[in-house]
């Protein structure tokens, strides 16, 4: 029965001109890919190996152009893109981008053209993880247009935007609306505890032990759904110059190199510590939001099997035993 609903909504999105992206099972694992039919999507609720961020925050984009000592407007027509079946944890990560870049027009404009359909095949509290608390009201607090919750043999639909309402009308179906919670969000005790743990850990032997393992390849930050560091890179053409925002990577020495060739993060240990302090200290400090959503993509992609959850657990002990194995 619910397959009919999927099809109707999918077709309504297609008709509205959206390019639809979904987790897709491939021989190499699940990846976020463009799909032509709702049947192409993976509905297991598992994390894709890559993150959704490149759709909302591409690896490079022009922030301005300049011509003859004058700024030239950047005209970008963003295609309509729909996220088909992003899970609640990845939605939490996207919410971080909405927070950070709320005043940045290059982000806002693209964001307007994105339709987000969340999906869960299991009760949401089952997404519980090591890095932040998932409460029963999580759906009320995330940013999406439509959320589909699989319940037994049926589907529960929640609409959170006028775009979703229009779409559902076109699809001949309806959704519930969740009231926006009145009470302010409670401090996440897990995030607070990890902040304290990581901030006070600089001299912990775990970092030295990881220095021997980490090869600073930077793959973790590429797949991380919350890594958003960027460089501003200029290029010059015949009579026009442009400045681009380009993904940065704190594992590369260039990241902290200043004039005179001084590098502040000198070895894998300092780079890892920087990466952890961004997620567990700076983001919670400045945005009151978890900087890690506990998806473990970084572990899945790490060539030397550094396990973020294990590292945090090791920081709670006095030894570096686990990390040295």
* Residues binding another protein (CB under 8 A): 63-66, 69-76, 100-101, 103-106, 109, 195, 199, 202, 228-236, 241-243, 245, 248, 250, 255-260, 262, 264, 270, 273-274, 277-278, 281-282, 285-286
Six-digit token pair at 122? 């299991």
DSSP annotation of 278 reads I
State the Cα–Cα distance between residues 43 and 23, nearest whole angstrom. 8
**Residue closer to another protein, measured from CB, 245 or 297:** 245
C-alpha to C-alpha distance for 246 and 228, rounded to whole angstroms = 10
Looking at the Cβ atoms of 32 and 223, the one nearer to another protein is: 223
d(CA 295, CA 309): 10
Distance of closest approach, residue 61 Cβ to another protein, in angstroms = 9
CA nearest to 288, candidates 91, 132, 102, 143: 132
Q: Decide whether 10 or 280 has the Cβ nearer to another protein.
A: 280
200: Cβ contacts below 8 Å, ≥ 6 apart: none
Q: How far is the CB of 109 from another protein (least distance, A)?
A: 6
For 288, the token pair is 């009151």
Specify the residue, 68 or 153, whose C-beta has the smaller distance to another protein.
68
- In the complex, minimum distance from the CB of residue 236 to another protein, in angstroms, rounded to a whole number: 3
Q: Which two tokens stand for residue 228?
A: 């958003």
Give the shortest CB-199-to-another protein separation in angstroms.
6
Three-state DSSP class for 204? coil
In the bound complex, what is the minimum distance in angstroms from residue 280's beta carbon to another protein? 10
Question: For another protein, which is the closer residue by CB, 46 or 266?
Answer: 266
Q: State which residue, 92 or 195, has the beta carbon closest to another protein.
A: 195
Q: How far apart are CA 301 and CA 204, in angstroms?
A: 25
Cα-Cα-Cα-Cα torsion 95, 101, 105, 106, nearest 10 degrees, comes to -80
User: What CA–CA distances, in Å, run from 279 to 50, 56, 198, 243, 275?
Assistant: 18, 19, 10, 27, 7
Judged by beta carbon, residue 179 or residue 259, the one nearer another protein is: 259
Show the tokens assigned to 141. 């607090």
C-alpha 276/C-alpha 299 separation (Å) is 14
- CA 215 – CA 153 distance, rounded (Å): 47
CB of 322 to another protein, least distance (A): 22
Cβ distance to another protein smaller for residue 77 or 325: 77
The smaller minimum CB distance to another protein, of residues 84 and 207, is found at 207
Helix (H, G, I), strand (E, B) or coil at 231: strand
Cβ at position 214, least distance to another protein in Å: 16
- As measured in angstroms, the least distance from the Cβ of 98 to another protein is 13
Closest contact distance (angstroms) between CB of 82 and another protein is 22
Residue 187 C-beta-side C-alpha neighbours within 13 Å: 7
């Amino acid at each position: 029965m619910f397959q009919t609903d999927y099809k109707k909504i999918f077709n309504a999105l297609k008709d509205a001109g959206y390019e639809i992206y979904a987790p897709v099972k491939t021989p190499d694992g699940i990846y976020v890919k463009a799909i032509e039919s709702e049947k192409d999507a993976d509905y297991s609720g598992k994390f894709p190996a890559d993150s959704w961020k490149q759709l909302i925050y591409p690896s490079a984009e022009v922030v301005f152009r300049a011509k003859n000592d004058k700024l030239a407007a950047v005209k970008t027509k963003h295609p309509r893109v729909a996220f088909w079946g992003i899970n609640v944890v990845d939605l939490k990560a996207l919410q971080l981008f909405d927070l950070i870049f709320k005043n940045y027009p290059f982000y806002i404009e693209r964001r307007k053209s994105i339709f987000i359909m969340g999906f869960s095949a299991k009760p949401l509290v089952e997404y519980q993880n090591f890095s932040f608390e998932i409460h029963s009201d999580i759906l009320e607090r995330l940013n999406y247009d439509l959320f589909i919750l699989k319940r037994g043999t049926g589907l529960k639909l929640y609409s959170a935007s006028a775009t979703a309402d229009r779409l559902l009308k076109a699809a001949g179906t309806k959704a519930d609306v969740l009231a926006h919670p009145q009470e302010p969000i409670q401090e996440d005790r897990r995030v607070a505890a990890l902040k304290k743990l990581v901030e006070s850990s600089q001299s912990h032997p775990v970092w030295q032990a990881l220095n021997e393992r980490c090869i600073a390849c930077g793959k973790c930050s590429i797949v991380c759904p919350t890594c958003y560091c960027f460089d501003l890179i200029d290029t010059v053409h015949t009579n026009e110059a442009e400045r681009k925002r380009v993904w940065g990577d704190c594992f590369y020495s260039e990241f902290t190199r200043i004039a005179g060739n001084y590098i502040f993060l000198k070895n894998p240990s300092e780079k890892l510590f920087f990466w952890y302090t961004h997620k567990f200290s700076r983001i919670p400090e400045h945005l009151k939001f978890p900087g890690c959503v506990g998806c473990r993509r970084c572990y899945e992609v790490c060539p030397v099997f550094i396990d973020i959850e294990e590292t945090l657990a090791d920081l709670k002990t006095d030894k570096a035993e686990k990390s040295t194995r």
